[in-house]
Structure 1
């Protein structure tokens, strides 16, 4: 007879208040019907996840995404003969409202609710697992985690058919230049989208829309690019790559290497050797 077991490991984000990740492995546990106050994004990793929600019975094989809106009642248990393994991310509504509104191009879309509970979508699955890794391994900074939330929100709005691509502004905006200056002054700090939008005196929704229109990239991409550029100057001055990496918020040297190489085509050490006598 197979050994029966249940294991539940919770990880709280160091950067985004109340964002929590669950890693679960179980063979003999069944959830009672319940609902969460947050959005819940899950990926089935092994076995089969069976649950009842929204008047329907669902079966989620490995690779499938499960999404519960706030207050959506559901239960859950392993299906078939194999043990169930899955991850679930719990995200308070407040952290997604501006991201949904930005993706839809409508401030009222902040109250977005997904009409799908069981989803097959490689792009969304990759984002959920990326955020899981950032939280469980304590990697990256706040804006790295917010960027993945933005990817998740954008993909859900795209699937709903409400996505509105962003065009470009024809002139600079003084408020966005204020946001840019704030970023440049805080490259070594763990800044958030709230911090930057407040510095620009804009709501997070309007800030996200206008920033991409003005600069052509997301705030996360802009911050990362500026950090890499600042790191490059320190490398040229002879600073050790590992010291530079930690100074600008990179989790470790390998993370710094990957990001640097995507912009300059070589590792920080290779770059340093090429520009110093």
Structure 2
């Protein structure tokens, strides 16, 4: 059984990317994406953990994760596992939907009818077609407006509502300085708490350590740079990795393919 993983990106329209996987094990650790993530389960079953809640997704389920929401997916049987993900650029989304902040604070899980899942599959296929950028972007906007209206299907209505206010400040601090060599000493000085309590509280709220979150931000940044065709060694250095091998291994765990293959696939 060979893992099958494909990426699609229209160079004329850089606001979205499609990832399709079969027999592929997603990131084993808790992770997040800079983009709005919309997925459909075409076959199989997976356990998903998000914000302290565990749930099962299966054939014909639609899932929506807002940008930078930590989650983990664990397929129960790789032989039957097949999915497709649509990643949508956060800045583009904010420019299109003035109420973007309000419409994407929910993690959505919805079982679709056969008719509706076929409509979503058709939508994904259309985005991979040779249609004009105008036609694609128009349909993308109209379809997203419908998909993001599933508030009655929200699993978590506000992903930040139960987050400790102090630890949210630390997350914002990391997001401002993740490309720098920040240390635990600097974080504790900023937060005014011990190293142990800082790590423990961050992990309790976000299901990962501050270092793990910093690495997620660096990998998402690297992904953006690779899309622009930047040299892999340059991307590794600019993203804060100590060598190209470390970067390649970390990127493969995060994205499912090496940086070189990712650039080839898109």
Give TM-score scaled by structure 1 length.
0.48
Give TM-score scaled by structure 2 length.
0.49
Larger gyration radius, structure 1 or structure 2: 1
